Amino acid sequence: MPSTPRSASVAADPWSNLDEAGTDLSVNDFLTTMLSQLVTALRSSVTEPYASQFDLTVPEWRILALLAHGQPISFAELVRQSTSDKALVSRTLRLLEDRGLVTLESEGGTPRKRLTCTISPEGAALHAQVIPLARRGQAAVIRMLTPEERQGLYTGLRKLHEICTTAAKE
């Protein structure tokens, strides 16, 4: 779990006076680059420790957490919500099924049959053990920011997500 940094070392802000062309924006300051690097760092410092404590990989934990609400989810919806590719979700589901943590039911006899995924009672019990650690780890990272920084980051991320998902549907 990350510790609170002694001082917030923030590089010069290249975004404040950004022109429309992004003239002085380096690849390291691209939002996509910074978010990818952050996700990788968070995965290894926050998520992997508690997932591995319960013999889960990060993709297994992500799928289990998505299924934890108890409602059956179609494979296609699970892929969409997990933001992973179909092959990874498929492999992960099979591993979780082999461990008795999820149940998979297929409907139809064609190659394009619909696959429905549900958490098993064993999977729900495991989720109940892991989720308090997951919440604590996430809270520890979020609380490294001031309340103002938290609000700005949360609001900005939600706004960008809405803009990008709306634009993708048009």
CATH assignment at residue 116: 1.10.10.10
Cβ atoms 52, 8 nearer than 8 A: no
In a domain, 7, yes or no: no
Tens of pLDDT, residues 140-161: 999 999 999 999 999 999 999 9
Nearest one of 79, 74, 119 to 100, comparing CA atoms: 119
Nearest one of 119, 82, 116, 83 to 101, comparing CA atoms: 119
Domain count, the chain: 1
Positive or negative, the Cα torsion across 15, 18, 24, 25? positive
Confidence at 170, pLDDT banded by 50, 70, 90: confident
Provide the residue range defining the domain that includes 66.
Answer: 28-145
| Threshold 0.95, pTM exceeds | no
Residue 5: per-residue pLDDT: 53
